[in-house]
């Protein structure tokens, strides 16, 4: 009789243990499902934010191109006409800059349009009259600082 009672108690304990394990697995499953829902919501929010950013950037670019098309790239102008980019001066409101490779870029100081060699109207804007002085940049001549640096004791690097 004692043997059957021992077996019965072990069966009961084993059943309770199985029940507790099952409950634990169910809770872990619920936790994982919640994590997946959070990740999906985060991803959806990320995609929505990206879409809104792309739309905002596209609209901003469209407006800037529209502004650049309306600008006459000239200095001067009175009141709103001057602010809107309708300068009335004979000189253009442009800056010419020679890059390190020798190319010259032209930048409108009113609408920030940039003309590079090969662009439509580049030659016209390069010849445009302005009282601004062209700036330049130069490539570093290849000499490294450490090649000519001397220490206080007279040794060089």
Domain locations in the chain?
A: 1-70, 90-136
Residue 38 has pLDDT above 70, yes or no: yes
- pLDDT surpassing 70 at residue 144: no
- The pLDDT of residue 141 is 55
Q: Is the distance from CB of 108 to CB of 73 less than 8 angstroms? A: yes
In this prediction the pTM is 0.59
Contacts of 131 (CB under 8 A, 6+ apart): 91
pLDDT, residue 113, reads 95
- Considering only the C-alpha atoms of the chain, give the largest distance between any 2 of them, rounded to a whole number of Å: 117
Give the span between the Cα atoms of 106 and 25, in whole angstroms: 68
Specify the pairing of strand 104-108 against strand 94-98.
Answer: antiparallel
**pLDDT mean across residues, the chain:** 85
Q: What share of the chain has pLDDT > 90, as a percent?
A: 58
CA atoms within 13 A of residue 71's CA, in its CB half-sphere: 23
| 85 has pLDDT over 70 | no
What pLDDT shows up at residue 140?
57
pLDDT band at 76 (very low <50, low <70, confident <90, very high): confident
């Amino acid at each position: 009789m004692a043997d059957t009672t021992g077996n019965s108690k072990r069966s009961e304990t084993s059943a309770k243990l199985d029940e507790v394990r099952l409950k634990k697995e169910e809770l872990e499953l619920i936790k994982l499902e919640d994590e997946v829902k959070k990740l999906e919501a985060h991803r959806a929010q990320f995609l929505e934010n990206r879409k809104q950013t792309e739309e905002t950037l596209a609209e901003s670019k469209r407006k800037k191109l529209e502004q650049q098309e309306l600008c006459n790239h000239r200095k001067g102008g009175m009141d709103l006409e001057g602010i809107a980019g309708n300068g009335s001066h004979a000189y253009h409101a442009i800056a010419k800059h020679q890059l390190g490779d020798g190319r010259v870029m032209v930048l409108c100081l009113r609408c920030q349009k940039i003309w590079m060699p090969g662009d439509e109207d580049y030659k016209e804007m390069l010849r445009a009259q302005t009282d601004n002085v062209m700036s330049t940049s130069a490539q570093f001549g290849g000499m490294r600082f450490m090649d000519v640096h001397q220490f206080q004791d007279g040794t060089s690097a």
